């Protein structure tokens, strides 16, 4: 009986860890070609708005920058900032909660724009969100 | 001799006139200063009878605001200089609750007097209630949203701090408090 309890407990924690890791996405195909990094951080307990922002970010990339993503010109990071393994990158981008950032990469130099306020202000209209995020990325790709 | 006396008299008359002019100017300045003090004094007891603030119109930014507030509202309650609005939906997440808590903490720690005097107004609004439809639409708040608004000369200047709230309030509260405190302090100047 005790063993069964331990097994269930073990399984429960495993599911928790896998469930959290499942949310992380890192697409980085060619660091040599890299021009723009798009990063979205979130916490473990997420609200609908936070999930909508992630969906709209993915949509922006899928519909407009698929080629750039595949060729490595754009990197996409969707990370849980509360996971220990993401601590360094989260601190680098000052992401302690839901955070949307876009970074222009020139050689080893990075210039980051924080788009979190934009994201929360515009997410109620996904069309506008996608269109404006697309424009921002296009500007950085020039 | 008579001509010389007339010239002396004329010079004395003109000098007197000029000196009187300077005196009026000085007196005028003093009056203006007194008016400013009067506005300040009344505004210090702003929760009392504001109807008494009528004529003095100071040239300073703050005093003008106080006079305008009184005349515009035409009530016993003075208009605040800063309004803090926190909007939320019915189902709230941890970040949303953290933003509200940190906002309350900021106001209670750093702006207790302004809250008591009515210089700062804080409102927590459920966007899903019909009664809050107008204000929610005005701020384009469809879920959690934090706005700080400055009211000056009848003009509203808004800052959307929603993103900063979601970014910092839960796991980096001190950073969020610093951002909010700085914005309110800036708007109170």
CA dist list (Å): A87 to A101, A125, B165: 16, 31, 19
- The CA distance from B182 to B179, in Å, is 5
Q: Put residue A107 in one of left, alpha, beta given phi > 0 → left and psi -120 to 50 → alpha.
A: left
Q: Which of A97, A99, A114 is the best residue to mutate to test the B interface, defined by the most B CB atoms within 10 Å of its own CB? A: A97
| Residues facing residue B125 across a β-bridge | B87
Report which of B82, B175, B73, B132 is spatially closest to residue A95, judged by C-alpha positions: B175
Tens of pLDDT along chain B (189 residues) come to 556 665 655 555 544 444 333 333 333 333 333 322 222 222 322 222 322 222 222 333 333 333 334 444 454 555 558 999 999 998 889 999 999 999 999 999 999 999 999 999 999 999 999 999 999 999 999 889 999 999 998 899 999 999 999 999 999 999 999 999 999 999 998
- The CA distance from B169 to B90, in Å, is 19
Tens of pLDDT along chain A (142 residues) come to 556 555 555 544 444 444 445 579 999 999 999 999 999 999 999 988 999 999 999 999 999 999 999 999 999 999 999 999 999 999 999 999 999 999 999 988 999 999 999 999 999 999 999 999 999 999 999 9
- Look at residue B153 in the predicted model and tell me its pLDDT: 86
- Look at residue B5 in the predicted model and tell me its pLDDT: 60
Chain A neighbors of B142, CB-CB under 8 A: 124
Residue in A48, A114, A120 nearest the CB of B162: A120
CA dist list (Å): B35 to B31, B58, B160: 6, 7, 37
On the CB side of A27, CA atoms within 13 Å amount to 21
Would you call B166 and A116 a contact, using CB atoms and an 8 Å cutoff? yes
Q: What is the CA radius of gyration of chain A?
A: 17
- Characterize A74-113 residue by residue with b for buried, 16 or more Cβ atoms within 10 angstroms of its Cβ, and e for exposed: bbbbbbbbbbeebeeebeebbbbbbbbbbbbbeeeeeeee
Would you call B170 and A43 a contact, using CB atoms and an 8 Å cutoff? yes
Q: Put residue B8 in one of left, alpha, beta given phi > 0 → left and psi -120 to 50 → alpha.
A: alpha
The residue assigned the tokens 């993103």 is B163
ipTM of the complex: 0.79
pLDDT tens by residue, B137-149: 999 998 899 999 9
Q: Which of A117, A123, A124 is the best residue to mutate to test the B interface, defined by the most B CB atoms within 10 Å of its own CB? A: A117
Q: Confirm if A105 and A36 have CB atoms less than 8 A apart.
A: yes
- Look at residue B154 in the predicted model and tell me its pLDDT: 86
Q: How far apart are the first and last CA of chain B?
A: 66
Chain B neighbors of A82, CB-CB under 8 A: 171
Q: Is the pTM of the predicted complex or chain greater than 0.90? A: no
What's the longest Cα–Cα distance across chain A? 64
- The CA distance from B66 to B51, in Å, is 12
What SS3 class is residue A93? coil
């Amino acid at each position: 009986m005790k063993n069964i309890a331990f097994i269930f407990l073990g399984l429960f924690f495993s599911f928790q860890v896998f469930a959290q890791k499942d949310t992380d996405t890192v697409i980085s195909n060619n660091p040599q070609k890299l021009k723009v990094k798009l990063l979205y951080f979130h916490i473990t307990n997420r609200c609908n708005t936070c999930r909508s922002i992630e969906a709209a970010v993915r949509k922006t990339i899928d519909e407009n920058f698929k080629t750039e993503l595949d060729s490595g010109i754009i990197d996409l990071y969707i990370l849980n900032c509360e996971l220990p393994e993401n601590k360094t990158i989260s601190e680098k981008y000052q992401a302690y909660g839901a955070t949307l950032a876009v970074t222009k990469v020139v050689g080893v130099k990075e210039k980051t724009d924080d788009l979190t306020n934009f994201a929360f202000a515009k997410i109620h209209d996904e069309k506008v969100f996608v269109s404006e995020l697309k424009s921002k990325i296009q500007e950085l790709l020039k | 001799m008579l001509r010389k006396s007339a010239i002396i008299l004329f010079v004395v008359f003109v000098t007197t006139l000029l000196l009187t002019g300077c005196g009026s100017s000085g007196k005028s300045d003093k009056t203006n200063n007194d008016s400013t003090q009067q506005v300040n004094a009344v505004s210090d007891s702003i929760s009392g009878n504001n109807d008494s603030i009528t004529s003095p119109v100071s040239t300073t930014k703050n005093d003008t605001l106080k006079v305008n507030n009184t005349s515009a509202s035409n009530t016993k309650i003075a208009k605040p200089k800063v309004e803090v609005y926190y909007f939320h939906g019915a189902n709230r997440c941890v970040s949303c609750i953290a933003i509200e808590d940190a906002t309350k903490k900021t106001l209670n720690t750093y702006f207790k007097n302004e809250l008591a005097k009515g210089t700062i107004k804080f409102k927590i609004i459920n966007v899903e209630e019909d009664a809050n439809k107008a204000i929610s639409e005005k701020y384009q708040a469809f879920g959690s949203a934090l706005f700080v608004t400055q009211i000056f000369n009848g003009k509203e200047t808004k800052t959307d701090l929603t993103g900063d709230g979601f970014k910092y309030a839960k796991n980096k509260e001190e950073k969020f408090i610093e951002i909010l405190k700085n914005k309110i302090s800036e708007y109170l100047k």
